[in-house]
Amino acid sequence: MKKNIAIFGSTGSIGKTLFDIIQKDKSEFCVKLLTSHRNTKILLKQIKIFNVKDIIVTDKKSFLKLKKLLKNTNLNIYNDFSELDKIFKNYKIDYLMNSISGLEGLEPALNAIKYCKSIAIANKESIICGWNLIEKELLKYKTKFIPIDSEHFSIMSLLEQTQIKDVESIFITASGGPFLDYPLSKFNLITPKLALNHPNWKMGKKISIDSATMMNKVFEIIEARKIFDVDYKKLSILIHSKSYVHAIIKFSNGLSKILVHDTNMTIPIFNSIYDNFQKKIISKKFDIKKMNNLSFQKVNLKKFPVVKLISKLPYKHSLFETVLVSANDTLVKNFLNNEIKFTDISKNLIKIVKTKEFLKYKNIKPKNVREIIKLQKYVISKTNLMCI
């Protein structure tokens, strides 16, 4: 029996990777829904390959253009996620990938959980800002959750048949980005072009800058804390420039486990959709040279001061995470627009989250998506004002 698949953000890097995997095995899958913001060119190709009947295009201009182009077809084209009940009314989705970027991906994820047997989320912001809302829906509808970040997928794999109480420490690895060996004295001269040049991964602009400041690792620590319900004190970052090791867990029985895989997202995505070695994937041979030269090191806090924010994070779910995400997003955007220096990202972020106005959100638990989006808009506005 074919698996029913839906992909939110099918034209982005994660969505395209998943699509490439399933199209090699078309007889196994039935794609029920694809969504995109505005990349209709790729979307049209994907629709044709799987004969998809329902699509969502969230950009209004692109939606109207595509609707006109396909008016004489049997395709159902929607402009938002409000019609999920209509789309999924006659079946359950076996596997849904949510790879919509930014906080825009939170509400679609929450609305989709009830229709899914399993949901894979590759959206940091949704997990960081709204995990308590997501978890509530997962429990209510008994939907399986799969984290797609290579680090969290690795942790989940290492924790199989183990309880979190038996974990002594978890290490998430970081490549160090383009500035691991860059002189601190030259950080003031870093340009967007330099910061976007990641040595190991091909990523979008926003996450590339987060990797350069190491803010992406701060976010991954928050994700790990929430997904696995583990104390921040048990979570650490280790620099590993080869990006071959993705997670290490030390257990209270003295054993430690380490997970390695090729430096690409195909492997965690492939394993998220195929369980228990159902299928084989072509990957590189086990790299002895890399294993003999893992070169782990601690984070240089002078180069990457945002990592110090981890010690200031609230243990409970709170709106403070929305403040952190929104302020960082704004500062990264300002840097990419050449409005602030690279060093201003971390300097201003640390200053902003320490203000009395925003510290109060550590004690406020998110109640719904509207509350999170409203705060996001406010923080963006205040961050822009504070950085003038």
- Does 86 have pLDDT greater than 70? yes
The region that residue 362 occupies, defined by phi over 0 for left and psi between -120 and 50 for alpha, beta otherwise, is alpha
Q: Is 277 among the domain residues?
A: no
Instruction: Kindly give the pairing relationship between strand 245-251 and strand 167-174.
Output: antiparallel
Average pLDDT over residues 288-302: 93
Instruction: Say how many C-beta atoms besides its own lie within 10 A of residue 239's C-beta.
Output: 19
Domain shared by 159 and 295, yes or no = yes
Question: Residue 366: its pLDDT value, please?
Answer: 97
Q: Cα dihedral sign for 199, 202, 204, 207?
A: negative
- Does 272 have pLDDT greater than 90? yes
Domain shared by 305 and 216, yes or no = yes
Three-state DSSP at 144 gives strand
Q: How large a percentage of the chain has pLDDT more than 70? A: 99
Domain span at 225: 153-263+289-311
Asked which of 115, 148, 181 is the last residue of a domain, the reply is 148
Q: Is 275 among the domain residues?
A: no
Averaged pLDDT of the chain: 94
Domain shared by 133 and 189, yes or no = no
Distance CA 342, CA 188 (A): 7
Domain shared by 30 and 132, yes or no = yes
Take residue 110 and report the two structure tokens written for it: 């929450």
- Does 161 have pLDDT greater than 90? no
279 residue type, one letter: K
Take residue 317 and report the two structure tokens written for it: 């779910």
Instruction: Kindly give the pairing relationship between strand 245-251 and strand 256-260.
Output: antiparallel
Three-state DSSP at 54 gives strand
Q: Is 284 among the domain residues?
A: no
Work out the pLDDT band at 178, boundaries 50, 70, 90: very high
186-215 pLDDT, tens digit per residue, is: 999 999 999 998 887 777 889 899 999 999
Domain shared by 22 and 133, yes or no = yes
CATH number, domain containing residue 332: 1.10.1740
Domain shared by 162 and 242, yes or no = yes
Domain shared by 188 and 304, yes or no = yes
Q: Is 274 among the domain residues?
A: no
The alpha carbon of residue 264 and the mean position of all alpha carbons in its chain are separated, in whole angstroms, by 14
Domain shared by 307 and 158, yes or no = yes
Q: Please give the model's pTM, rounded to 2 decimal places.
A: 0.94
Q: Is 279 among the domain residues?
A: no
Average pLDDT over residues 359-368: 96
- Does 277 have pLDDT greater than 70? no
Q: Give DSSP secondary structure letters for 123-142.
A: -HHHHHHHHHHHHHHHHHHT
Number of domains forming the structure of the chain: 3
Asked which of 117, 148, 179 is the last residue of a domain, the reply is 148
Average pLDDT over residues 379-383: 96
Average pLDDT over residues 291-304: 94
Domain shared by 198 and 99, yes or no = no
Take residue 132 and report the two structure tokens written for it: 């308590």
Q: Is 271 among the domain residues?
A: no
Take residue 328 and report the two structure tokens written for it: 């960082």
CATH number, domain containing residue 71: 3.40.50.720
Distance CA 181, CA 263 (A): 20
Q: Give the residue carrying structure tokens 């070169």.
A: 295
Average pLDDT over residues 360-376: 97
Domain shared by 328 and 206, yes or no = no
310-361 pLDDT, tens digit per residue, is: 999 999 999 999 999 999 999 999 999 999 999 999 999 999 999 999 999 9
Domain shared by 7 and 75, yes or no = yes
Average pLDDT over residues 272-284: 82
- Does 365 have pLDDT greater than 70? yes
Average pLDDT over residues 108-127: 95
CA dihedral 119, 123, 127, 129 (to 10 degrees): -140
Q: Is 246 among the domain residues?
A: yes
Distance CA 16, CA 232 (A): 33
Three-state DSSP at 56 gives strand
Closest-CA residue to 100 (of 218, 22, 10):
10
Work out the pLDDT band at 1, boundaries 50, 70, 90: confident
Q: Give DSSP secondary structure letters for 270-333.
A: HHHHS-TT-S----PPP-HHHHTT---B---TTT-GGGGGGGG--SS--THHHHHHHHHHHHHH
Average pLDDT over residues 128-155: 97
Backbone angles phi, psi at 52, to 5 degrees: -70, 135
Q: Is 270 among the domain residues?
A: no
Domain shared by 123 and 21, yes or no = yes
Work out the pLDDT band at 388, boundaries 50, 70, 90: low
Work out the pLDDT band at 283, boundaries 50, 70, 90: confident
Asked which of 113, 148, 183 is the last residue of a domain, the reply is 148
